[in-house]
Structure 1
Amino acid sequence: MESPPPPKFVAGQDREDRISALPDHLLLDILERLDLREAVRAGALSTRWRRLPKHLSRVHLNVGQFQGVVPLEAMDAFTSAARALLNVVEGQCERGALKVLSLSFYISSPHLSSIGRLVVDVVSLGQTQCLEFCVLLPPSSNTIPLLAENGQQFMSFSRAYPVAFSWLTRLTLKKLVFGHSDVTDLITACGRLRHLYLSFCRLADPFSALKIDVPRSGIQELEFSFVGCTGIELISVPKLRRVGCQNWIFENPPVCFGYVPELCVVQLFSKAKEWQVPFALSECLSRTGSAMNLSELYLDFLHQMIWIQPEHPKQLTAIFKSLTSVFLLGIFSECDLNWTLFILEAAPALQDIALSRHSCIKTPENSAEKRNVVWEPSKDLKHLNLRVLLIQGCEDEDKVTNYARLVMERAVGLKRILLCDQLPCEDCNAINPEPSLRRSQVDEASRHRIKERLTRGSSSSVDIIIC
């Protein structure tokens, strides 16, 4: 018996589409993969979809998604959308369990109170697992007086809504000016805060240090980028696990560590300025001897001056005893590589070293002079745990070959050497793209010659890979 044909669509017939026929939990899963605008549009499809946004478990609202002639109009639209999605009516929550709430908004006095009240209503239900604020300045608020004023407004906002801030787990602040204790006070008030990112922020007195002393805080990650201060002093941050510092503008070292017993990852990225002189890693890492769990170290020189100076391994052995991975990035190609072995000698547990090399065509204004770094490793150095050496950018055969052979001799457990092409450079390609393409073709032949030179006359079983 043949199956009956599928029913035909009849114009004007009220027939639900197949997607709307799915159970609520699947429809919500679809909506949570859309951005806000698409989710709201989906709500216009039917009465079934229209009520679903109230039951999302994750809500991400970004003022950049809303259009307005002036920032106030964008914030009007932002707060209206937040009110529609988050409002709790008569103490009852229409929505399901809101677990993740991420809000990116401008500092705007007429709207901060609305945002604060909405967030307090949501977190008071006790089901929020992740609350994130990304606080931005309106595009027209870049003058120093306005930056300071907006910083004060933000601190007033945090004090006016302590319940909301006590639930914050991640906070991003851009282009704000703070008093000397504001950052410590803020971290202390945000009891659940785990990640803080300061970008283009500064102290009211930029010729002073940013001091963070939060012995009872559970904060785990701190990131700083273009922060206006003479340095960052982490006096006591006992749960801190990762620190990133990019593009510092004053003297070296950019950050000094006090009591940070759980610190695992340090990332320092910057182009050296002409008024900055190289510093010893022990200057910032060994102040109290409490950072004994460091496992990953990232140093990116961005193809300019090497802003650290090699030092006797004994100065770092205690701090590097758990170090397993080192990434030394943006080494300018003319620089010798042997200096990197002072880290190998100071880190007996080290398993991986990654180097990237390149000499950028573009030299930023006020850059420090590039100088070769000279270091002679100990003749009796024998490292037992290093397994992998990665070199990205092999333009100079002699430097790469001599360095790789030196590592092969000293790292008796070495298993693999990876020789890779240099990473694309936006600055070089933007100025003169053709030579960059030709250089890449030449490098392929060069890397093969390096491999031949490394294996010739060697009894080592190291696997050499051209990638």
Structure 2
Amino acid sequence: MTTHKIENAEFTVLTVKKRRQCTLDDVLNYGAQFVSFFNECLNAFTGLTRLYMENLRFVESDFVSNIFVTCKRLNYLGFLNCDTQKRLTLQVEHAQLSELSMVNCRFYKVELKWLPRLTRTTFTCWMDFEELPLSFGHVPLLEFLNLTNVGLSRHKMVMLSTLLCETHIQELRLGFKCEKIWVQPECLSERLASAFHRLRIVSLVCIPEGSDLKWTNFILEAAPSLEELYMSVIDHPCEMIIDPKMRMELSLSENKGVEWESPRPHFKHRRLAKLVIFCFVNYMVSYVRRVMIAAVNLKDVYLYDRLACSKCKHMAVFKPGRLPRAKKKLKAMKKLLAQGIESAPRIHLQTHSEMDADHAARIKDYLCS
């Protein structure tokens, strides 16, 4: 390991207790054990290519920075439920790192300053902070970004034009965990166009049920290279907090949607080829038609019936699927969707059992964000 002659070396830190079982003493203890082990084996850690850690709290605020300094060969680094005892602004510079994942972490700020080989970033759940504690510097190869959060009433909306103005991502995944939409729809600007001009795939995951979907059109208008648009519109009773008193205590918003009206009602999109909606219901007809009219080269529209995870489907509050089953009614629905649209795309109204293989591979992500 010291001579760096091992091509691939992965180290994974798993704790005895799972994340939701851990107390403050547990994460402090796990963090101290790891720091001790790390300091005793510095030469070995210099040879690591992949490092994953979970449920660790570091007393020494600069220890996380030491990981980036010591592990110079890392191409993947993952944190789950990790933080420092004192609030930390983490400035990340690394010559080799290509993938960084931070899930349920509580670093005060994360500044990705200089990562010339970074291609994939996952950053989820910043509930402890009013605004997204993430910024990008020199990340010229960044292709994929996954942002997921439970939107609270006190959270500031995220301006994607500001966040991504220095990037050229190709795939964007935004997860809402069935709660408040935390993205601010924006009118087309030079900065937004610059951030989205290479965007090819967008996934909008676990949008709360009943939401007006018109706000998503701002992404379509700002991303001329967009080819595929996926979204799931679903409430997860097994994960959501339903009790009104508890929702109020946690600052969960009752007004989950966001309103936005395009100043360009007649804009046309030339590249979008595929629209996929999981958990399609009748109120989305007008939205689908609007996309079909705008996307003049749209080839396929996949509208799937309501889906459920293994826990939700057994709960009394779970709502069954709503797509018509009779062929006559399915034909009528397709006719309604395509009415008056020249060169209408192929419309697929399908149940879970009829799911396209490519979509089935994505389904886990679209059920749990």
Aligned ranges for residues 150-169 of structure 1 at < 5 Å? 150-169=30-49
What secondary structure does 1:338 align onto?
A: helix
1:188 and 2:188 matched: no
The aligned amino acid for 1:181 is D
Q: Deviations over 1:401-427 (max 9, x none)?
A: 111111112111111111112321455
What secondary structure does 1:354 align onto?
A: strand
Residue equivalent to 2:225: 349
Q: CA deviation at 1:430?
A: 4.0
Alpha-carbon distance in structure 2 between the residues aligned to 1:125 and 1:386:
45
Residue equivalent to 1:109: none
What secondary structure does 1:374 align onto?
A: coil
Q: 1:372 to 1:125 in 2, by over 3 A?
A: closer
Alpha-carbon distance in structure 2 between the residues aligned to 1:209 and 1:180:
6
User: Structure 1 stretch 245-254 or stretch 400-409: which is displaced more?
Assistant: 245-254
Aligned ranges for residues 143-292 of structure 1 at < 5 Å? 143-145=23-25, 147-178=27-58, 179-205=60-86, 208-214=87-93, 216-250=94-128, 251-286=130-165, 289=166, 291-292=167-168
Residue equivalent to 2:363: none
What secondary structure does 1:440 align onto?
A: coil
Greater helix share, 1 or 2? 1
1:376 and 2:261 matched: yes
Q: Would the aligned equivalents of 1:297 and 1:326 in 2 still touch at CA under 8 Å?
A: yes
The aligned amino acid for 2:257 is N
Alpha-carbon distance in structure 1 between the residues aligned to 2:331 and 2:210:
20
Q: 1:233 to 1:430 in 2, by over 3 A?
A: farther
Aligned ranges for residues 77-156 of structure 1 at < 5 Å? 120=1, 126=5, 128-139=6-17, 142-145=22-25, 147-156=27-36
Q: CA deviation at 1:444?
A: 4.3
The aligned amino acid for 2:144 is V
Q: CA deviation at 1:376?
A: 1.6
TM-score, normalised by the number of residues in structure 2: 0.82
User: Structure 1 stretch 148-157 or stretch 410-419: which is displaced more?
Assistant: 148-157
Q: Would the aligned equivalents of 2:4 and 2:47 in 1 still touch at CA under 8 Å?
A: no
Alpha-carbon distance in structure 2 between the residues aligned to 1:346 and 1:297:
13
The aligned amino acid for 1:408 is M
Residue equivalent to 2:184: 309
Alpha-carbon distance in structure 2 between the residues aligned to 1:195 and 1:174:
14
The aligned amino acid for 2:111 is E
Q: 1:147 to 1:159 in 2, by over 3 A?
A: same
Alpha-carbon distance in structure 1 between the residues aligned to 2:143 and 2:280:
30
Larger radius of gyration: 1
Q: Would the aligned equivalents of 2:292 and 2:344 in 1 still touch at CA under 8 Å?
A: no
Residue equivalent to 2:339: 456
Q: 1:125 to 1:340 in 2, by over 3 A?
A: closer
User: Structure 1 stretch 196-205 or stretch 229-238: which is displaced more?
Assistant: 229-238
Q: CA deviation at 1:452?
A: 2.0
Alpha-carbon distance in structure 1 between the residues aligned to 2:209 and 2:4:
57
What secondary structure does 1:318 align onto?
A: helix
Alpha-carbon distance in structure 2 between the residues aligned to 1:309 and 1:447:
35
Unaligned 5+ segments in structure 2 are 242-246, 351-369
Q: 1:394 to 1:443 in 2, by over 3 A?
A: farther
Q: CA deviation at 1:247?
A: 2.3
Q: CA deviation at 1:132?
A: 1.0
Q: CA deviation at 1:183?
A: 1.8
Q: CA deviation at 1:393?
A: 1.1
1:339 and 2:225 matched: no
What is the aligned-residue identity percentage? 30
The aligned amino acid for 2:256 is R
Alpha-carbon distance in structure 2 between the residues aligned to 1:380 and 1:329:
27
> RMSD value over aligned CA atoms?
2.5
Q: 1:444 to 1:266 in 2, by over 3 A?
A: farther
Q: Deviations over 1:120-179 (max 9, x none)?
A: 5xx7593x3221111133449944355335424423432332331122111111111233
Q: Would the aligned equivalents of 2:301 and 2:348 in 1 still touch at CA under 8 Å?
A: yes
Q: Deviations over 1:365-388 (max 9, x none)?
A: 422233332222213421111111
Alpha-carbon distance in structure 1 between the residues aligned to 2:202 and 2:131:
20
Q: Would the aligned equivalents of 1:360 and 1:427 in 2 still touch at CA under 8 Å?
A: no
The aligned amino acid for 1:463 is R
What secondary structure does 2:194 align onto?
A: coil
Alpha-carbon distance in structure 2 between the residues aligned to 1:409 and 1:149:
58
Q: Would the aligned equivalents of 1:253 and 1:283 in 2 still touch at CA under 8 Å?
A: no
Q: 1:176 to 1:282 in 2, by over 3 A?
A: same
Residue equivalent to 1:386: 272
Q: Would the aligned equivalents of 1:306 and 1:370 in 2 still touch at CA under 8 Å?
A: no
The aligned amino acid for 2:155 is Q
Q: CA deviation at 1:316?
A: 1.2
Residue equivalent to 2:355: none
Alpha-carbon distance in structure 1 between the residues aligned to 2:99 and 2:178:
27
TM-score, normalised by the number of residues in structure 1: 0.66
Q: CA deviation at 1:209?
A: 4.3
Alpha-carbon distance in structure 1 between the residues aligned to 2:205 and 2:222:
19
Q: Would the aligned equivalents of 1:134 and 1:172 in 2 still touch at CA under 8 Å?
A: yes
Residue equivalent to 1:36: none
